[in-house]
Amino acid sequence: MFKRFVVVVVLVGVSRVAGADALDVAVKKAVREYAAGSFKKAIATLKKIVERGGDAKKRALAYRLLGASYVSINKDGDASASFRKAIELDPEEGLDANRYPPSIVEFFVGVKAKMRGKLTIKCDREDAQVEIDGRPAGKCGEAQDVPSGKRKVVVTSKGKSQERTIYVAVDGSVTEEVKFGPSTGKIAIDSVPKGATVSIGEKEIGKTPIENYEVDAGEYVVVIELAGFAPIREKVVIEAGGVKAILKPLEKAAGTTATVATVPPKTTTTTTTTTTPPKTTTTAVTATPPKTTTTTTTISTGVVKKPSRWMRTWGWALVGVGGLSTIVGFISAIKNLSAKSDDDALTGNEPNFKQLQAEYQERADDTSTIANITLWPGLVLTIAGGVLLILDATSKKSVAESPLRVLGIGAVRDARGVTTPMLQGAWRF
């Protein structure tokens, strides 16, 4: 009665694997022979099935039934070999205690327990912890002896976890690499004036300027302090693989007096001293300038304005071109930093990692070239234009007091009221 029950149960298991309609005639025959207690006949039939090859699950079923037949005639060695083959073909399938006798199930479990392999998990973080099938397995890099088949692996580091399902072959060795990416970021801090003491959290890290100080990714409170100035407290978030830049102008603390250098207004003092030397007679003669003076003055004023107009035109042109070039260079520099940041943020696990890396590097190269040929030349042109505009404004203020103009008028007056061609040429020059 028990054997007939086993036949029905085994047939149900076979139908779940391949479907009753597709069940091989030889497998049905072997099941009937096993149920009837004809273990040797069942063994002969099952050997022919496994030698044919074909579907792995069907062969695994045949090997499990073959192992059960060998256990029934006390051939433990052959039973172990058959069960090992079944486990290699289908590691996840076992023997249901409700379908097979307890002695056969126990024998199968013992064989499976001896079929093991090596599993090593490598990580890019030293603090990462490993769990295999829900049990702690130490740190990354340590080879673990695990049962063969599919193993569930969870790797945890700094609150982040990665889960993998890894197949371990019998007597095999598997190495799996888990990458979390960078866990730290960098911060650059400067102040105006420099020399301020900087603290991150409760730790003092130095004085400004501070460049590329490395900290764990996370949220921090940055404190900048300098004697005589109000302290600055700012909350910042440092992203893994990123760079955070802070530039802070410091303000005078309340109750302190700022020293301001003042330039007193320029004062002109005219002192008239009349000295009457002995036996000396001083006669003041006032000469009336000729009418040609007006003509000479008009000519001189026109000549002085020409350089001012030239400087003003070129000054605005250089400021416009230089300003536009500087803006383009500044935008390109920002894009360059963005491309580098995107490239550094890649972990290597992206499906199109190489394509993204090449794209970010190409964008970084292009923006770097544009920034180099526009930013600094633009600044130089802008400064040059500003200098010309300043000279233009200065020349307008001093034109009435130009020494050339005074000398020119004096020369015309000394020419007995006649503007000679030689004086006119010198004045135009």
Domain boundaries, the chain: 2-114, 116-178, 184-249, 292-413
Residue 281: other Cβ atoms inside 10 A: 6
Q: Which pair of tokens denotes residue 199? A: 């603290």
Is the preceding omega at residue 209 within 30 degrees of 0, hence cis?
A: yes
DSSP state letters, 228-249: TB--EEEEEEEPTT-EEEEEEE
CA distance 252 to 128: 47
User: In this structure, which CATH number among 2.60.15.10, 2.60.40.10, 3.30.70.3040, 3.30.420.40 belongs to the domain 116-178?
Assistant: 2.60.40.10
Query: Tens of pLDDT along 324-359?
Result: 989 998 898 898 888 888 888 877 777 777 788 888
Q: Which residue has the higher pLDDT, 331 or 417?
A: 331
For residues 145-172, average pLDDT: 85
CA distance 402 to 395: 9
Q: Which pair of tokens denotes residue 138? A: 């130490």
CATH class of the structural domain 2-114: mainly alpha
Tell me if 196 sits within 8 A of 225, measured CB to CB.
yes
> Percentage of the chain surpassing pLDDT 70?
74
CA distance 117 to 85: 15
Domains 116-178 and 184-249 share a fold: yes
125-134, 232-241, 251-260: which has the minimum mean pLDDT? 251-260
pLDDT of residue 224: 94
Average pLDDT, the chain: 75
Tell me if 130 sits within 8 A of 155, measured CB to CB.
yes
104-136 burial, b if ≥16 CB within 10 A, otherwise e? bbebbeebbeebbbebebebbbeebbbbbeeee
Sequence letter at residue 137: A
CA distance 62 to 186: 62
CATH class of the structural domain 184-249: mainly beta
pLDDT of residue 308: 54
Helix/strand/coil (H, E, C) string of 132-166? Answer: ECCEEEEECCCEEEEECEEEEEEEEECCEEEEEEE
For residues 357-383, average pLDDT: 88
> Percentage of the chain surpassing pLDDT 90?
14
pLDDT of residue 269: 43
**Helices 292-345 and 421-428 sit at what angle, rounded to 10 degrees?**
20
pLDDT of residue 115: 83
**Binning pLDDT at 50, 70 and 90, where does residue 59 land?**
confident
pLDDT of residue 282: 36
Phi, psi of 152 (to 5 degrees): -90, 120
